[in-house]
Structure 1
């Protein structure tokens, strides 16, 4: 399925301002300002200046919060977003309510206590982000994430993402029976998205510390519903089967 750009010139804008460049600029800006975010429940609150507000919006990280403050903009970062900026990009410090810094080991334990599937979801999130996909919550589509080729203002989401892991009941509650599988495929088709299943293999590693992420492996599989309209006498049988692709072209 080809990208569905929003309006004339959207693709050119995306090519002129690649996501990799935006994220590098954000990383540099947050590092130089020694930015820190306050851990609050299942999110982190980050106060930034005008330049960083623009970069966070362009990178599609966090959600702006409307406040009465004129000189600062607050952003609410999700768990995966906060840990990605802190652990992977190393450009954000996380502090607790007492304003004391929380290291990555402590933050990892905290995230795990709030969300049992956090290690798997974070591995999937960082896997896509490192390949310059914009990743947002997929709850409105009944999936874990949706992945955009660039900013959502320029292009529609291309993939609906499910995160699975062998032997993990928390992550494997979906697609166990044919009816679930069929409903998911139908839903993805109705919103013009391809179902992307990311199967996370822990390779015998636990979830004690973030170092386990280095040993996790990600298997990518896209699944598309067979379209009976494609079934014609002048086409070969190979064109009329459900397509299952084991890897993506990034």
Structure 2
């Protein structure tokens, strides 16, 4: 596991700065599958002329445990976690902002003395520096006001306090004060070397159900284990279990009753959207911090900021199906214009384009319920996109 060296603040949509070359090497593969080409030879040249190839696919075959409570799949093996994150940015560390780097942070605090920082530590340091800058600026402005009051009381001159100048720090000139060096701690026990207890990695990679099903169904590089027996689940078991996780809990008196699958199951709606954009080459991540459902990245979070923000809006092909639905889908009913304007304003401020993604739910009357027992039902769902831009007259006259 590598530690990330701190860099300067990113400018524009690009991120990483000095780390960009390392990121291009570490995150070179967009998917967990690797296409291995044989060394060039006369045989490969002849096969290439015939339109044939000896390229073979390397499949990592990772393992995860299905957790119905959190509606996610947990990958505890650190090698599998880092592989899925670095080859497609799948999942999220449950103790980290994105990449599962909890163990790296602990080792850094113990052995590195903070010389090499992870992305979480870099963000925390920047926020602390920004907070200290605001405090220093406020203190400088208060000192200028106090000096003006003293001059007025003693000399009778009215001086308008300035909000800028050499005495007031600005974002371009302010620098954090150097930390005083702490004296080395005196060891409690001399002449004896104490062995440090190894740190146990308690973090796991948390895959959403949409990410997990794409990895196991489309890429065939993930095995999902049953949480009770810890045995591999079949594709049909996984497909039904992922849908049941979003249904209302069954009554204790009906533990063996077969669950009634729904055409408007949230898992189906979200997987249709996730699969649609993943198949187009986008990296799809959750967008809850920007009040949306998903964010779209060109290459991944370590390269660029997200360009698009998605709001998923289910649409019933037959409006009567919504009246008898038990799922109570979010955004299925018409929402207020003020809500939409608020979401658009939030994402415009962070330079993201808002996209309304309409997912059409097939009518119950034209499809049998048994079709929901296999992924074949996804062919009856459709996706439509509407790009919403905030109109700013002063900027859009041309």
Match of 1:100 among 228, 231, 248: 231
Contact 1:35 1:92 in 2 (8 A): yes
Contact 2:355 2:385 in 1 (8 A): yes
**Structure 1 residue 101: deviation in Å?**
2.1
Match of 1:196 among 329, 337, 355: 355
**Structure 1 residue 194: deviation in Å?**
0.6
2:85 maps to 56
Match of 2:63 among 21, 25, 36: 36
1:223 maps to 388
5+ residue gaps, structure 1, are 236-250
Measured against aligned partners, the alpha-carbon deviations of 1:163-202 in whole angstroms (never above 9, x if no partner) come to 1121265143476221122112111112211111211123
Equivalents in 2 of 1:19, 1:128: separation in Å? 20
Equivalents in 2 of 1:113, 1:22: separation in Å? 28
Q: Say how many residue pairs are matched.
A: 227
1:154 maps to 303
Please list, as runs of the form range in 1=range in 2, the aligned pairs for 1:2-151 lying within 5 A after superposition.
4-6=13-15, 8=17, 21-25=30-34, 31-32=59-60, 34-41=61-68, 42-48=71-77, 50=79, 53-64=82-93, 66=102, 68-69=199-200, 74-97=204-227, 98-115=229-246, 116-151=265-300
**Structure 1 residue 120: deviation in Å?**
0.5
Equivalents in 1 of 2:22, 2:358: separation in Å? 33
Equivalents in 2 of 1:118, 1:103: separation in Å? 18
Equivalents in 2 of 1:92, 1:51: separation in Å? 10
**Structure 1 residue 39: deviation in Å?**
0.8
Pair 1:47–1:129, CA change in 2 (3 A) = same
2:315 maps to 166
Equivalents in 2 of 1:59, 1:100: separation in Å? 26
Equivalents in 2 of 1:215, 1:188: separation in Å? 31
**Structure 1 residue 9: deviation in Å?**
7.7
Report the TM-score when normalising by structure 2.
0.50
Equivalents in 1 of 2:329, 2:290: separation in Å? 19
User: Going by fraction, where is strand more abundant, 1 or 2?
Assistant: 1
Equivalents in 2 of 1:213, 1:13: separation in Å? 39
Report the TM-score when normalising by structure 1.
0.76
Equivalents in 1 of 2:74, 2:28: separation in Å? 23
Pair 1:73–1:160, CA change in 2 (3 A) = same
Equivalents in 2 of 1:154, 1:110: separation in Å? 35
Equivalents in 2 of 1:187, 1:121: separation in Å? 22
Equivalents in 1 of 2:374, 2:360: separation in Å? 16
RMSD: 3.2
Larger radius of gyration: 2
